[in-house]
Structure formats: C-alpha cells, structure tokens
Amino acid sequence: MTLHSLTQQLDIVYSGRDFEVLAINTLVDAKKDEISFLDNKKYIDALKETSAGAVFIKEEFVSILPDGVEAIVCENPYLSMAYASRFFAKALIRESGESHIASTAIIQKHVYLGSGVSIGENVTILSGAYIGDDVSIGEGSTIYPNVTVYNDSKIGRNCTIHAGSVIGSDGFGYAHTHDGKHIKIYHNGAVLIEDDVEIGANSAIDRAVFGITLIKEGSKIDNLVQIGHNCEIGSHVIIVSQVGISGSSKLGRNVVMGGQSATAGHLEIGDFATIAARGGVTKSIKGGEVYSGFPLIKHKDWLRLQAKITKFFKIN
C-alpha cells in the first residue's frame, strides 16, 4: 500500500513524499521501499545510517534522519509499527505454486504438505506432521510425528526434528496502549535451520518479526526448549532441556546452556561460553568462560559464594 494510505489507516497526520511500501523492516536492513521505526535511543546510530524510505519517529529525533528518509511523526513509534504490521501480514493459506518432492523421500500417511514445498532426497516425514506453504526440507532430514513446520520455514540437510516440536510460530511480541491493551505485532519473518541440526521433542522456535530466526549448522537442541523471535544460535551450540532464550539474543559458536538456564533479550553470549544449569543471563557476556547463578557470575566465583553461605548458616 502507499505511505499516504497507510498513515490514513493509522490516523497519523502525514503530508510528505508518497511511495509504495513493500514491507516493514529494521533500521539496519530497511530499503528505500520499506518503512522502519525508532523506539529506543540506543538505536540512534542505526537511524543515522538507515536506508528506509520512511521511519515512525518522535518529533525530537526528526532532525537526525538522513536526507531522503521521510519522518512519520507519532507519539509511540513502536505502537504505530504494531498497528501497521497487520497490513503486511502474509496470507495464512496460499496458492504458492508447484511443489517439488524427491522420488526418494518417504512421506507417511496423514502428513499435510502445503503448496510450494520442497522436499529433498531421502527425507523422511512421519505420520501427523504438518508442513506449511513454501517450506523447504533438505536432503536426508527426518521429521518425526506431529511436528508442525509453519509457512516459509527453511530446514537444511541431515536435520532431525523430534515429535511435537513447532518451527516458525509467531513470537511473543506486543505493543501496549496507554490503557493497557496489548496490540499484536505480526511476525512476517521466517525460521532458517542450517545443516546437521537436531531439535528435541516439544521444542518451539519462533519466526522472526522481520528477517529470520537463525539456527546455525551442527547445533543440538534438547527437549522443551523455547527460542524466541529473531534469535541467532551459533554453530555447534548445545542447549539443554527447559532453556528459554528471549528474542533477539545472539549465541556464539559452541555456547553451552545448561538445563533451565535462560537469557533476557537483545544480548550476546560470546563463543565457547558455558551457562550452568539455572543460570540467568541478563546482559551480554564474553566467551570462553563458565558462568553460574542469578545474577550471573563466573562459575568459580559462584562456588566460593556458595561455600561462604554454607559456612554462614553452618549447614553440614
């Protein structure tokens, strides 16, 4: 839709340049035919460099916009973006075109295959699985019973997804009105799972708001794990059961997360870091170390702390 039409739908006063808007995207990734938003001052540098055609923005930041980027001035840019996202939501049921299913693929009865799917050589899909529109599954992968793969998800070669897991469901994303209503942010991104990834039973990997949620090659994910929207899980990561990873977290190569550990969102964990069971990561941390506890500290310091607490209470 055109930018003028969109702003009218949102009851925003706008009289700038009009153009056809193709999508909403981040400040970093947006192109000239896309719109973006600024909600947090920490993204000011990204605003200065954005190539978006227009940005939802507060009046105080308009002067920072690059030349040629239109200002959509509003009181709450994040909320405006949420309202706008529904206009760009993809169709739930599509006619995407011809599917390509390799002759060596084994697909049991009671499997649903959407339109435009691509199933590689020697793929096995067991009974009860749901494979949505425009999904691709690479050579040698195995999809166990009752797995749900939402539209647009991409699964690499030699992957294993165990029973009951959900790939590509909407992330938990809402903007909030002044009177406490929660406005859904439509998730128009996807999930990309690279080669040699294994995902345990009843785990959930959310699609991105924009772009992709990425699981890199060789990573192993246990049962009952939640990975939020726009996360990036590095190569050969180990994630143990009941871990929760909040949206836009980035895990480096060979990170290990012990059972019931978790992260806050929008942080980074460095390569070869280990988070012990029930560790709570609330800010970005360096790699190559073992961490424990909540608030998170280095494991050796956590052990000393526990020893002192034990002595203090004279616990045998």
pLDDT of 315 reads: 56
Task: Report d(CA 131, CA 233) in Å as an integer.
Answer: 23
pLDDT of 289 reads: 98
- Catalytic residue check, 176: no
Task: Report d(CA 266, CA 244) in Å as an integer.
Answer: 13
**Pairing status of strand 182-184 against strand 174-176:** antiparallel
pLDDT of 316 reads: 54
Note down pLDDT in tens along the chain; length 316 residues. 999 999 999 999 999 999 999 999 999 999 999 999 999 888 999 999 999 999 999 999 999 999 999 999 999 999 999 999 999 999 999 987 899 999 999 999 999 999 999 999 999 999 999 999 999 999 999 999 999 999 999 999 999 999 999 999 999 999 999 999 999 999 999 999 999 999 999 999 999 999 999 999 999 999 999 999 999 999 999 999 999 999 999 999 999 999 999 999 999 999 999 999 999 999 999 999 999 999 999 999 999 998 888 888 765 5
pLDDT of 97 reads: 84
Burial 171-202 (b: 16+ CB within 10 A, else e): bebebeeeeeeebebbbbbbbbbbbbbebbbb
| pLDDT, tens digit, 9 for 90 and up, residues 63-81 | 999 999 999 999 999 999 9
Q: Using CA atoms in the order 301, 307, 310, 314, what is the torsion angle rounded to 10 degrees?
A: -150
Q: pTM score, two decimals?
A: 0.94
pLDDT of 249 reads: 98
Given the residues 162, 229, 266, 299, select the one marked as catalytic: 229
Helix H or strand E segment including 109? none
**ω into residue 295 within 30 of 0, thus cis?**
yes
Burial class (CB in 10 A: 0-12, 13-18, 19+), 260: middle
